Structure 1
Amino acid sequence: MKIDRLEQDWSESPAPGQEQEDSFDPGRCYIRLRDVFIAEGASKLKLEQQLTETYALIVHLGGSGVLELGDRQVAMKKDHVYLIPPESTFGWSGDGSGELSAMVLRLDILEERAGLFAAASAERLDSAIALRKGIPVTPAGRLEKLCRAIHAHFNSKDRMKVWRAQIDCAELLYAAAAVHSERAVDTRQALERSKAYMEERYVEEITITQLAAIAELSPKYYVDLFKKTYGVSALDHLTKVRMEKAKHLMNQSERLLKDIAHEVGYTDPFYFSRKFKQTYGLSPSQYMKQRSRRVAVYGRTSILGYLLTLKVIPHAAPLHPMWSNLYFTKYGSDIPYHLHIARQKYQNSHNLDLVAQSKPELIITHRDLEPWERERLAGIAPIVELPDEKAGWKQGLLALGEALGEPSEARSWIASFESKIEREKKRLLESGVRPRVLTLKRVRHHFYLYRNQGMQDVLYDGLGVRSACEDMGVDRNIPISLEELDGIEADVVLLLICRDSETLAEWKKLQQSPSWMSLRMVRENKVCQIASEPWREYSPIALDRIVDEAMRIFTGKCP
């Protein structure tokens, strides 16, 4: 088979009547390295979560830190590799105890089936090599040497060395697969065992002596090490586990308070109530009253940015630490049913099942639903559809306030926001700052002039800044070259980089190129990179955050 057939054959299925084998066959596997980069030299290195469209092999070279995989965190260990499947998100952060260095290899893993090469599915590949879990590669030091050779060869102009990098990448994956079942046991894993015990046996009476025995450490050393590793004491972590379980029970059942206390390990309901209030700032009865309204969100995460202004936390909503980090972090434990940020049609069907399980009395959604989705939702509970974004967020918030019986809360929030933006506009004028702003987006190999409705509402209509491109309309994506960019007069350039692996890899290369560094806006330090959250979300909460971020950028001070 010619290599140039690979791209077109990835998504093809076996010929009719031919059976697929259940297990992954490494003997029919093909590896192609797409990109590789090393990040090192910072004591608190942080890589924000990004979406990978291919398999990603993350290699921990040195230091200590945490690998963030969606809503999970895994301790990074030296001489370990982590294989991340496509359509997943990953990032990492150092803990400050040493220089964290790591390498990311983006690769295609293809499998020959029925005479065709197709992308190996994560489910099949997991039988040969553990996905998302650290796999040790021995002997010590071999992994770093191999990885640095791959990095040097892949970036060489010598095509034979590039080929060598492809071969070494396959060797690295083989080494990880060869030790798939041989897991190294270290102190961090011992602590993880004790954490798992707390999360499984929280109903029982648990002592430090028990936990230390599980970790095979002395009680004193265990207490000190747990606090140093996780930033909280073991008993505080146990309390948090119990409180989170209690909130889950309150959200999903009509149990009595004393029964909930017993189910999370407290024999005295009054002591449980005191601990709950110490943790969350309100009593269990106040919390249950606040959560008595059962509302579900289906579709866009931005709907949460409307609901929360009305002090309503839904029972079901789409959440993800990459696309909705604020909502995931702050309210994730209060929302018992986490829906997918749907990227595939099958996820919509699963989301509908979760909405039904949450037994809502009302479902908040948007208007661009498929007919079958709307029909299914209508069979679960009454639907409230927010107006189209072009109608403006204020109309959407007022409509939602009416539907939830909170019209005064909606009007009050709008009035408060209008006062805030007028105050900040005045502050800009008084400081003599009325910048010409250029907003850009980078997707893969191209820049686009970009302005969405939120930018229009806050920057131009609200704060009254000037546009560096007056003829650019709202909600348009206009390709623009580096030469054209260099001819634009702008005081501030707001640049949004799409967080898929291909775009991030291309952006990393561009930043080091002479063509980028020679741009006047770059030389004069006018480019400010902004994040998708909140700049791409259109909701009251997001717009409020954009005001704060914009003022920090324009004046150097937050409101």
Structure 2
Amino acid sequence: MSTPSNWPLPPQSIRFIMPHKIIRKLAQNKLSKDLYPLGAGYYKEAEGHRMERLEHDDHLVIYCLEGKGKIRINQKNFAMNSGDLAVLPRGLAHQYASSPNFPWTIYWCHFEGDLSDEFVDHLQLPKQKPVLHLGLHSSLVSEFDALLEARRSSYHLNAFINAANQLRQILTHIALLQPLVRSQDADSFNLEKIHSLMQARIHEQLDIDTMAASVNLSKFHFIKKYKDVTGTTPVNHFIQLKIERACHLLDISTRTIAEVAFMVGYEDAYYFSRIFKKVMGISPTQYRKLQVGAWSYKSFKNDSA
């Protein structure tokens, strides 16, 4: 694997490098050997983040959510802005850096596999132009987030096989989105940008002012426009996303309710439980009991009717 940057990792950022023994198993397993991650991460407002590789022996994808940066290849600079995606294939020497004034927030993943070259070719990116303006897509943000869940698996191979297939989903999703990419009018309402911001901040609090500023609208006009387009408020949608995420965490782990609450941005577990019940009709504890048959689905339907 190409050496990842040694940028000092601040809170709310993630860097996960696959253990060598896991990489060997992924390279041998029939379900993952065609494509698998070597390392992945989420860097939030990555001030001072920069990297130079004269030798690059794997593939790298970078997805910029916010801020700015640049990539330099063959003496040419390419700007990276919000919604841009870069793919740096094996063998391509490169440099990249976050903007000092508007540091980028990015997802990244180094990957390899028997068919990794074919997956990169499938993207049909212009040669010597690694940056594609894909736009912000909340579903793609969710897929990167799901890929990073593997780091919580206590090194269970099945979790990493799932991560390998999540990477397959990401790359094929990028290829699917490309024909749909089009320039948006500067005055148009970029709903995907808002939803991607929500997904990226799902483990935090996110105020209306920040959401409105991201699409250059006043707080009043943002709320009105959002409700006109979606039929709900941005706050309600953000809460819905948090609870969906909480359900996923309750499904796949044995974390306590308080731990799940904290992971979706609620420091008060009791307040989180009230919000969860308001959305789902049952408490987090009752939801978890559904998994083990200690609480019936019929009860769930009756209580939430």
TM-score bin, normalised by smaller chain? 0.3 to 0.5
TM-score (norm 1): 0.25
Higher relative CO (Cα under 8 Å, sequence separation at least 6) belongs to: 2
